[in-house]
Chain A
Amino acid sequence: MSESGINRRDFLKVLGLGGSSLALTGCGNTDVQSGVEVVMPNVHPEDFVVPGLSVFYASTCTQCGSACGVMGRVREGRVLKLEGNPESKISGGKICGLGQAAVQAQYNPDRLTQPMVKEGDKLVPTTWEKAMALLDDKTGPKSGISGEQFAFVTGATSGHLKALIQNYMDSLGSKNHFVYEAVSPAIGFAANRQVYGVDMPRLHLDKAKLIVSFGSDFLGTGASPVHFAREYAKFRKAPRGTLVQIEPKMTMTGANADRWIPIIPGTEGVFALGVANELLNHEEYVRATSPDIVALVRKYDRETVSRATGVRPELVAHVAALLWEKTPSLVISGASAEGHVHGVQNAMAIQLLNKILGNVGKTVDGQAQSPFPQIAPSAGSFAALKAMNDEMGGGKFKAVFIHGANPVFTAPSFMGFRENLRKAPFKVAFVDAIDETAQECDLVLPILTAVEDFGSHVAWYQPEGVEVSIQQPLMEKLHADTRSMGDIMLDLVKVRRAEEYKAWPDFFSYLKTAVVAVKPVVKYTDTDEHFWYDVLSHGLIQVDAPQQEVGANFAAAALDLSSSAPVQDPKFPFYLIPSERHNFRDGRHANLGWLQESPDPLTTVVWDSWAEIHPKTAASMGISEGDYLEIASQNGMLKVKAYLFPGIHPDAISIPLGQGHEALGRFAQGVGVNPFRILDPVFEKSTGEIAMYGTRVSVRKTGSKETVVKDEGPYNTQLGRKLVVTLPADVAQLSKEI
């Protein structure tokens, strides 16, 4: 029993979720036949359960880090569908495909339903008692483990689970909490910190008349795709804004651009400085720019920039002319500009345009400052895993915990992560389905999915104020032998700090106490109980917090890109672009059938990996669609089918991330290839992040061929039919529309 005299099960009953076992066992009535169970007519169903009627509960989507507020549609104790929560400033009542698919993770046939322990080289089922005893044996006070010898790897984290993990680390005296994201925003953050003094400024798409995006896929994979899609819709309403996208491979955002400009990977910064040079032909911009920067930028004339970037010289001037004409504008840098050795410099050169154009304070300003640092988000980085891996390779760690990350799958093979992980004598994975990393672990603990568990989340991109997103169970747990990650962490903290945590029997009561403690901050005057139910029914706590101050600090020395020219190696003539798909991200959702069958927006390919190659390049190499190509870097080779794609630089090859699983169940296993494996050890020089776009590859046609399975028909144009009609923006009269 918790302080409030209500335990978790009772609480679920109050919410009308307690009846699920009835519905869930409805198909198999063996217990009834054997007389173990008595069938009762459902005359008095649980509160809020009206057979045939849906009830909606507010919660939070955890499929990516955006923390969109969602509403779960619950019927007879089962969650059936997620919709956006209109009260959420992040989702605004909308939801993406990735979010929709969360219910498939819940009912996944390949979910882990019981604890597993390694015997020999196989994982075999065990009980929670034995599992927790083993944990205590290896990491408890009697194990003699020191904080130094313990490591905890998590994915991006925030909220009260993060606080609890931190408290657990403190109880062990360990500082080894490594927050790892395979596709992380760390390079952009580093640039933003230098320029604006904050990790991530707030971007006002809706206020801009022109957006120039250097490889930022804000509609698909960026900071908060649903939020940015909503802002984008406002941006496209009258007076319609113009979008210019500059990137080596067309992203979903690029596909929606008014002007898409292909560029040699890594030269985005040079292009930005070239545009800056053109802008500085206007006296008012020169006055607002420091002389040393003006002197630096003057080196980047049209012809020089064109030679470096492969973009026609007149386009440099053209982009500058658009920026001069349409103010306020917004210039954004993104993954394909940042994933290079000089990624921070590239990003800063791009942000310099915002400074010159006076966008800072208009379309770029500060986010609200989270008043709760303990639950503030850690967005994660690659460098964290690299540091951890180096220490682990030296045999430093006796015990490693892993939650919310799959480094065996996402770490490039040059790191030897799998081998290093084997050097740690005791590895524990907390997962809902066995992935590549869990397969390597000695103990695998089955945890609840996001729709079964309590939690709290704070997104690192906050559109308005600070939204603490609250996650509540949308149904009773599906598998009896699974446990809440929060409950497990609480138990572990109590091993060493029983006295401090004795008030809370479970994570629910801990979270409730923590949430109720926020009451004064939001000036809520009713009782604690009312506040708690209020929070649950809205699914969020909206905190008005002061906005962060953003500066605009540029030093000429940090912007010099004269040494950024890519290293040419005739053996590896192509740039590898490991592109992030909006539904797959780093591959953790590859086991969801809906997402496998949801066509990639640009290629319409399903259930596979493919290599995007420009038709011109393909023609010169005699490659046609479906030809198997051997794509080799210095660190590995992938065999993958060719897809001829006009939206890519002719010197680049793109393979999407997320496929190529050896584990994760029937929908993911054996589908496609994993480009993470062949990345070269090229690092961003100031942050140590991996340069995702820094790998060079060779391409060889193997001679074998197979159909590319895709939604697109044999022709990829409209063949003169009036299917999608395009109207020039100066003809359309959007302001007269409804």
Chain B
Amino acid sequence: MSITNLLNNWSFYRNKRPYRGQYDLNRQYGEYKWAMAVDLDICTGCNACTTACYAENNLPVVGKHRFEHGQVMHWIRIERYWDEKMGEFPEQGTSFLPMMCQQCEAAPCETVCPVAATSHTNDGLNSQNYHRCIGSRYCSANCPFKVRYFNWWNYPSTAWPAPLEDQLNPDVTVRTKGVMEKCTFCVQRLSEAKSRARTEYRLVRDGEVLPACAQACPTGAISFGNIVDPESKIAKMWKNQQVDLYKDMQEKDNTVRGYRILEDLRPFPSVMYMERVRDAEA
């Protein structure tokens, strides 16, 4: 988004999202809204998604010392929680939670950026403009999911000793010291797919493009697609799970599994999670 456009419509981009009609298949620049669904019942915690993300998005390996200081750059991580009511042993296994940028519609990070380096794209992504970022880190402080990662070091010169840099994905920038970065839903793949579709006078087909995490996931726990298209799998899944992109504090039947994390903070995430299931009789 151009800075002019942003400044002209400042209040629009800052306050009015999401609203019904924001996305519309028949309107140019409103025909896509990328959304995700993560089935926590079949996520096994294997970390294939995180490694795929390293490969796709040129994430630097920071090493033990920097990891210890919280400077790891994994755009997607698997959080592991033990049950609070656990006795001596975790008799119902453990809980895994793949956590990536939730691409919130009313993103708390966007409103605090002093230079509008992070803002919303027309296809519903929470974008990060590395050129504009001045490294204030307000966005990270304001992110309830803690999925923004700051470049404390000049990784391009240290993280890829030759010839490791030959593996770098040319479609993705290598970020330098002093800028914030985060999951983009693999925007480079989305752009390529949209551009290909446009040259063929059509919209991106359902399943045509997947982020690296969803593509790798061995159990298929991560689903992805354009939620504007009512025929897409992702739109059907959200509807089936009674999760509405435009609503918060949602009431749903107790038999459905869909929910969005920290919904009560009203960020309107674009990632729906599906509850983990456990056989209580086992």
Contacts and interface: CB of A to CB of B under 8 A. Distances in A.
Contacts of B29: none
A732 B257 contact: yes
Contact of A233 (B220, B259, B278): B220
Interface string B87-129: 0111111111100000000000000000000000000000000
Given A100-B48, A728-B278, A731-B255, A250 B90 contact: yes
Interface string B42-57: 1011111011101110
B245 interface: no
Given A83-B216, A107-B167, A601-B78, A723 B280 contact: no
B218 A226 contact: yes
Contacts of A562: none
Contacts of B163: 24, 107, 109, 478
Given A709-B64, A723-B79, A727-B257, A107 B277 contact: no
B70 to A, nearest CB: 10
Nearest to B83: A717
Interface stretch (B6-14, B130-138, B234-242): B234-242
A255 B96 contact: yes
B217 A726 contact: no
Contacts of B241: 737
B48 A242 contact: no
Task: Determine the main DSSP class of B at the interface with A.
Answer: loop
B21 interface: no
A727 B91 contact: no
Contacts of A219: 44, 46
A225 interface: yes
B61 A732 contact: no
A607 B67 contact: yes
B277 A97 contact: no
Contacts of B190: none
B277 A240 contact: yes
A707 B257 CA distance: 38
B237 A738 contact: yes
Residue of B42, B56, B276 with highest tally of chain A CB at under 10 A: B42
A725 interface: yes
A285 interface: no
B82 interface: yes
A13 interface: no
A737 B240 contact: yes
A322 B279 CA distance: 11
Nearest to B161: A109
A24 B166 contact: yes
A202 interface: no
B195 to A, nearest CB: 12
B216 A599 contact: no
A96 B259 contact: no
Given A107-B166, A729-B278, A730-B280, A597 B221 contact: no
Interface size class of B (residues with CB under 8 A): 35 or more
Interface string A588-621: 0000011111110110101110000000100000
B259 to A, nearest CB: 6
A723 B41 CA distance: 13
Interface in B219-234: 219-221, 233
A386 interface: no
B61 A109 contact: no
Nearest to A709: B68
Contacts of A732: 255, 257, 275, 277
B80 A602 contact: yes
A709 B93 contact: no
B46 A104 contact: no
A602 B276 CA distance: 17
A262 B82 CA distance: 16
A207 interface: no
B167 A647 contact: no
Interface stretch (A30-38, A74-82, A136-144): A74-82
Nearest to B256: A733
B139 interface: no
A108 B164 CA distance: 6
B216 A101 contact: no
B95 A260 contact: no
Nearest to A733: B255
Contacts of A243: 282
B52 A256 contact: no
Contacts of A726: 92, 95, 275-278
A607 B63 CA distance: 7
Interface size class of A (residues with CB under 8 A): 35 or more
A225 B107 CA distance: 37
A233 B168 CA distance: 32
Nearest to B239: A738
B90 A646 contact: yes
A583 interface: yes
A711 interface: yes
A497 interface: no
A42 to B, nearest CB: 15
A229 B164 CA distance: 30
B82 A94 contact: no
B169 A80 contact: yes
A471 B120 CA distance: 43
Contacts of A719: 84
B261 interface: yes
Residue of B56, B254, B279, B280 with highest tally of chain A CB at under 10 A: B279
Contacts of A647: 89-90, 94
A355 interface: no
Contacts of B64: 606-608, 671, 709
Contact of A646 (B51, B89, B162, B215): B89
Given A101-B51, A724-B81, A322 B282 contact: yes
A454 B133 CA distance: 46
A637 B243 CA distance: 55
B216 A233 contact: no
A145 interface: no
A594 B55 contact: yes
A191 interface: no
Interface string A220-245: 10000110011011001100101111
B40 interface: yes
A95 B46 CA distance: 11
Contact of A94 (B83, B212, B218, B278): B218
Contacts of B46: 96-97, 219-220, 225, 229, 252, 582, 601
Contacts of A716: 80-82
A693 B261 CA distance: 41
B61 A604 contact: no
Nearest to A583: B47
Nearest to A103: B167
B80 A230 contact: no
A96 B48 contact: yes
A260 B80 contact: no
A257 B93 contact: yes
A646 B275 CA distance: 23
A233 B95 contact: no
Contacts of A598: 47, 50-51
B61 A593 contact: yes
10 contacts: A95-B218, A244-B282, A255-B45, A255-B90, A255-B93, A606-B67, A711-B74, A717-B83, A722-B259, A724-B273
Interface of A: 24, 52, 75-76, 78, 80-84, 94-98, 100-101, 103-104, 106-109, 219-220, 225-226, 229-230, 232-233, 236-237, 240, 242-245, 250, 252-262, 322, 478, 582-583, 593-599, 601-602, 604, 606-608, 616, 646-647, 666, 671, 707, 709, 711-712, 716-734, 736-738
Given A94-B218, A100-B216, A723-B79, 4 more contacts: A78-B167, A81-B55, A245-B93, A717-B84
Interface of B: 40-42, 44-48, 50-52, 54-56, 61-64, 67-68, 72, 74, 77-84, 86, 88-97, 161-170, 212, 215-221, 233, 236-237, 240-241, 254-257, 259, 261-262, 273, 275-282
The 9 closest A-B pairs by CB, nearest first: A97-B51, A229-B218, A607-B64, A593-B61, A233-B219, A258-B282, A724-B95, A258-B279, A601-B45
